[in-house]
Structure 1
Amino acid sequence: MDESASREYKLRVKRVHFLVGLLALIAPVLGSDPSLAADHLWTGSRAAEARAAALLGAIRAAGDHGLDPDWYRLADLEKAVSPGGDQDRAEQLLTDAFVAYASDVSTGRVRANSVDKDIDIQQRKADRSELLKQAADATDFPAWLASLPPKGDYPLLQKTLATLRLKRKTATFTAVPSGDALKPGMIDSRVPLLRKRLAELDMAVPVAGPVSDLYDEPLAAVIKTYQATKGLTVDGVIGAKTTQSLNTGLDERIDQVVANLERRRWLPEDLGSRYVFVNAGDYSMVFVNGGRPVFHSLVIVGTAKNPTPEIASVMHGFQINPYWTVPQSISGEEYLPMLRRDPNALAASGFRIFSSWSDNDSEIDPSTVDWNAINPKAFPFRIRQDPGANNALGYIFFPFANKYGIYMHDTATRWLFTEGSRNFSHGCIRLQNPLDFVEKVYGSRGFDKDKVRAAIDDGQQVGYGFPEPVRLYVTYRTVTANAEGSVSFRDDVYGRDRRVVQAMGRPRS
């Protein structure tokens, strides 16, 4: 053999060795039979066909997760796997459908941050190659596929979705007309319709008295129960918010469940053992430590015009007796009209006005400014409120990184916690008992609540660091389930659930 032929022979041997080694590396990805080609995950063997059957079963039941089987081309899949179908086409269709379904059911159908400008979370993202490898490696593929959705209250939401869809087949709907506030003791033609609507909502409605149009106390008690379940002000008065809630139909409630299933898929499967979970949808906050809830609180969140965003962040500590620097948008929209009427209108509440956003020596006399000439959309001054009883942040302030400039804080208007629908802020989160929360965060690690209260009373401006950072999740769950299995609905004040459902139905990019 000449030298040239020898080199060619050695090269061929190296190629063979390379291919053998490559096959050994990828054999685990191909399943138990190394002779299967890499693109035969669903056809060509009994095991592959069993995987395909399990996948088709899961896609047929995608509606249980608020997903649509048609999004995964179910009709094309069933045709492709029928006898005499093209195996290569079946492999491609099944692979694409599998990756799409597995991703949707585990991490969400849509990219959350594209749905709404007020959503900025670190959503998980499924990896195509990793999903395919796990599918091939799974010794029990149906069980592995069933393990992909979140845990927690997710199965209860699924059960609620199924119940509502079943009820929709026979449900009736009676609209309650809008009008002036209907109060107990009043006679109104809406009362018989109100009784019918409450019965449709599975409320225990008392029998009407001799005057069928009388809004009596027994019926008002049922309304109060209804208001409590929906996070409305519990006063028995049929106002605009209660009327709107009563007129929310089953289709809208079903969409809410679908949106909340999707929203749960956006979050990490494991939120951690120590975190704060704020739900702007039901005005609540919980602090979880060591994997169990140790502190609950009511919160006040943003209005429909200034909604509280959905974010994930970290809190490192808190400050007492903070200044409040008014955002430019609030200065222009809310405070400029007051200054135009009276240049000194803000002074009584401890506000000062500065010409610079960084120089605290640039305070100006508001009476020297022609406020009528100021553009509200380009407010040039910095308005800052001094610490004290009237400060909008109250006495305690919890900063955390986010692009919206919101934070959690105490409040000077604590009476608002008695309201049912607590949408009053400009997006920030007002906490009912902030020092009690801090005490739970510190646990047994040296927090002296009385000492901090004394520092507050002395007017000290002090920052305190937590013993360890606390993870923060701010979400918008309008349908929740508790440990006892009870499901609660809140009204979609922000209209965000509707936008989530609309985005889910759009073709995948």
Structure 2
Amino acid sequence: MNRYCLFVVLLALLSCKKESILDLDTFKISNSNDKEGEVIEIDTTLISAFRNKSISDFYSSRDNQTVWQSEKNRKIILERIKNCESEGLNPSDYSISKLLELEKKFTEFEESEQVNYDLLLTYNFQKYLNHLHSGKLDPKKLYTNWDLSIEKLDIKTVLNDALEKDSLAGEIQKCQPKALTYGKLIKALSLINEFPEDKTKPVVTSDEKIEPKTTNPAIVAVKKKLLYWKDLESNDSITSYYDSETVEALKKFQTRHGLISDGVIGKSTVTALNFTKDERKHQIIANLERWRWYSKPFAPNYVLINIPNYSLTVVENQNTTMSKRIVVGKSKRKTPVLTSVLQTVVFNPTWTVPPTILKEDLIPELIQNRNALKNKGIGIYDSKNNEIDPVKWDSSRPRGYRYVQKPGYYNALGVVKINFPNRYSVYLHDTNHRNLFERNDRSLSSGCVRIEKPLEFAQLLLDNPKKYSAEKIDSIVATKETLFLGIKKRYAIYQWYWTAWCEDGKLIFRNDIYNLDAGLYAQLRN
């Protein structure tokens, strides 16, 4: 039996397994001198052994013949895969070592070996393109509160276009996510790779904060960290005295990490300082994966929320027209990641107490004091929507009622909320705790997003300054009557989660408030 027959038998056996596991080391390289560039017909049994519909469809559209005769195209593919670490991907996921080994022997291949190489190149290249376009992992299998529809790549069309138009590099480029932040993350990965090996030691402090112009043994480690990250330029004063030059350097560091830039070394600053280069690099790679989960172009007008950055940005025709500070869900009640379209502005909304808050907070309070809810403007309603006297409230069946807070300045939702379709029943809204926007850590809500100065945001969405001027909106709020207004101008909303990027050549990081980065990186490199 010749080698070609053995090869067919091998792949036939593989095709009987539940999943196709192709051991690249089983393929031998001959010393044949077959001419490069020859088109060879492929036995469909070899194609089906991969158990990959995209590959089968592609080769079927090419009359089941080899396609990578062009040395130029093969080198483009191999170069992209070899250097895909610059995109946060892992070359070993695409068997790059074996592919490079096979390429060296290409001109010596027998027909069966050229077929084998052609199939392996297609298999790994399409895997790379899929990962580049849509990510390696599926967020819906990782998280319960990520509602992103992965847009699958039409591999057959991409590869055929590349071959027919002789534009392989261009087609690869089209597979990359288009978001501006993705480009900033690619740059961030490049920047962090320029840093040398991180040999700095952790900053160890007591629970007390370190103020400027004081002496503390931990300052030596702080200065070395700041020098490493290029926030401190001079190493002339590596002493335990916290001098003014180091204070200014630390403020730069704090700004880059979304901390209060007061120059005071507290717990949050020490935590940020103690991240190593590798940990930050892993964080960037995890964020690149997240952005690959949504490769569609953004709508012309949209609201972009970065949950860990506590920020809301309005973008209209590529121009930022408004930015707001926000409060997001606490770790136990995370704000979901999703995309939708803004639908309605509701002035003077009522607030129906959700089950968790009812069980944990209001029912115990009501049992102790029947007037507790009345003092908060919360009415108790029976199944017929009749408001009942708290004295007649039946504590043995507390869930037999609805608990609704009347509109007003002190309503839990404030004076305005913005609705959009989603399966989590979350929305954007004002708050009766308006002082929270002054805090640095604003992971405090039950999942919805609270907006600072939301009436300005509502006015922008209504897009009619004459009809809905600031004065008119104030008069609507003053009535304390609920009013629903449809949003006529189409605004998409992207409620996103990213903790790293770069600005003006500087690395930017945010606290991973839901502790997602390290786990995601580990799964990417599993």
What is residue 93 of structure 2 aligned with on the other side?
A: 71
Matches within 5 A, 1:234-253: 234-253=261-280
Change (3 A) 1:333 1:127: farther
**Unmatched tracts of structure 2, length 5 or more:** 1-57
What is residue 51 of structure 2 aligned with on the other side?
A: none
Alpha-carbon distance, 1:460 to partner: 1.8
Whether the aligned pair in 2 keeps the contact of 1:278 and 1:285 (CA below 8 Å) is yes
Whether the aligned pair in 1 keeps the contact of 2:347 and 2:477 (CA below 8 Å) is yes
Whether the aligned pair in 2 keeps the contact of 1:80 and 1:89 (CA below 8 Å) is no
Question: Do residues 80 (structure 1) and 102 (structure 2) align?
Answer: yes
Secondary structure in 1 aligned to 2:461? helix
In the alignment, the residues of structure 1 paired with residue 392 and residue 380 of structure 2 have an alpha-carbon distance, to the nearest angstrom, of 11
- Cα offsets for 1:294-335 (capped at 9, x unmatched): 111111111222221110011112101111122212222343
Secondary structure in 1 aligned to 2:143? coil
2:520 counterpart (496, 500, 507): 500
In the alignment, the residues of structure 1 paired with residue 244 and residue 365 of structure 2 have an alpha-carbon distance, to the nearest angstrom, of 43
In the alignment, the residues of structure 2 paired with residue 170 and residue 485 of structure 1 have an alpha-carbon distance, to the nearest angstrom, of 20
What is residue 385 of structure 2 aligned with on the other side?
A: 360
2:472 counterpart (434, 451, 456): 451
Secondary structure in 1 aligned to 2:491? strand
Amino acid at match of 1:414: R
Secondary structure in 1 aligned to 2:342? strand
1:277 counterpart (292, 301, 304): 304
Whether the aligned pair in 2 keeps the contact of 1:184 and 1:217 (CA below 8 Å) is no
Whether the aligned pair in 2 keeps the contact of 1:172 and 1:200 (CA below 8 Å) is no
1:50 counterpart (72, 89, 96): 72
In the alignment, the residues of structure 1 paired with residue 217 and residue 93 of structure 2 have an alpha-carbon distance, to the nearest angstrom, of 47
Secondary structure in 2 aligned to 1:124? coil
TM-score, normalised by the number of residues in structure 2: 0.79
Whether the aligned pair in 1 keeps the contact of 2:381 and 2:388 (CA below 8 Å) is yes
What is residue 103 of structure 1 aligned with on the other side?
A: 130
1:472 counterpart (470, 493, 500): 493
Matches within 5 A, 1:168-183: 169-183=196-210
What is residue 295 of structure 1 aligned with on the other side?
A: 322
2:186 counterpart (158, 166, 169): 158
Secondary structure in 2 aligned to 1:503? helix
Alpha-carbon distance, 1:219 to partner: 4.5
In the alignment, the residues of structure 1 paired with residue 405 and residue 251 of structure 2 have an alpha-carbon distance, to the nearest angstrom, of 39
Whether the aligned pair in 2 keeps the contact of 1:122 and 1:312 (CA below 8 Å) is no
What is residue 412 of structure 1 aligned with on the other side?
A: 432
In the alignment, the residues of structure 2 paired with residue 222 and residue 363 of structure 1 have an alpha-carbon distance, to the nearest angstrom, of 61
What is residue 399 of structure 1 aligned with on the other side?
A: 419
What is residue 229 of structure 1 aligned with on the other side?
A: 256
What is residue 349 of structure 1 aligned with on the other side?
A: 376
Alpha-carbon distance, 1:478 to partner: 1.0
In the alignment, the residues of structure 2 paired with residue 499 and residue 321 of structure 1 have an alpha-carbon distance, to the nearest angstrom, of 42
Amino acid at match of 1:407: Y
Q: Percent of counterpart pairs with the same letter?
A: 27
In the alignment, the residues of structure 1 paired with residue 67 and residue 299 of structure 2 have an alpha-carbon distance, to the nearest angstrom, of 35
In the alignment, the residues of structure 2 paired with residue 498 and residue 300 of structure 1 have an alpha-carbon distance, to the nearest angstrom, of 24
What is residue 67 of structure 2 aligned with on the other side?
A: 41
Secondary structure in 2 aligned to 1:305? helix
Alpha-carbon distance, 1:364 to partner: 5.7
What is residue 3 of structure 2 aligned with on the other side?
A: none
Change (3 A) 1:172 1:335: farther
Alpha-carbon distance, 1:183 to partner: 4.5
Amino acid at match of 1:360: N
What is residue 463 of structure 1 aligned with on the other side?
A: 484
Change (3 A) 1:363 1:227: farther
Secondary structure in 2 aligned to 1:271? coil
Alpha-carbon distance, 1:363 to partner: 3.9
Decide which moves more: 242-251 or 50-59: 242-251
Matches within 5 A, 1:13-24: none
Alpha-carbon distance, 1:355 to partner: 5.0
Amino acid at match of 1:365: P
Amino acid at match of 1:464: L
Whether the aligned pair in 2 keeps the contact of 1:138 and 1:144 (CA below 8 Å) is no
Alpha-carbon distance, 1:492 to partner: 1.1
What is residue 451 of structure 2 aligned with on the other side?
A: 431
Change (3 A) 1:443 1:203: same
Matches within 5 A, 1:356-395: 356=383, 359-361=384-386, 363=388, 365=390, 368-370=393-395, 381-395=401-415
Moved over 6 A (4+): 205-210
Decide which moves more: 379-388 or 63-72: 379-388
- Cα offsets for 1:185-244 (capped at 9, x unmatched): 66544333333333333222788999x656566655544443232222344443332222
Secondary structure in 1 aligned to 2:150? coil
Question: Do residues 197 (structure 1) and 217 (structure 2) align?
Answer: no
Whether the aligned pair in 1 keeps the contact of 2:411 and 2:432 (CA below 8 Å) is yes
- Cα offsets for 1:434-471 (capped at 9, x unmatched): 22223323445643331121010121210111123311
Amino acid at match of 2:66: H
Whether the aligned pair in 1 keeps the contact of 2:330 and 2:447 (CA below 8 Å) is yes
Change (3 A) 1:464 1:289: same
In the alignment, the residues of structure 2 paired with residue 336 and residue 423 of structure 1 have an alpha-carbon distance, to the nearest angstrom, of 25
Whether the aligned pair in 1 keeps the contact of 2:328 and 2:444 (CA below 8 Å) is yes
Amino acid at match of 2:483: V
Kindly report the root-mean-square deviation, in angstroms, between the aligned alpha carbons of the 2 structures: 3.0
Whether the aligned pair in 1 keeps the contact of 2:416 and 2:429 (CA below 8 Å) is yes
In the alignment, the residues of structure 1 paired with residue 266 and residue 432 of structure 2 have an alpha-carbon distance, to the nearest angstrom, of 27
Amino acid at match of 1:157: L
Secondary structure in 2 aligned to 1:472? strand
Secondary structure in 1 aligned to 2:332? coil
Change (3 A) 1:467 1:133: same
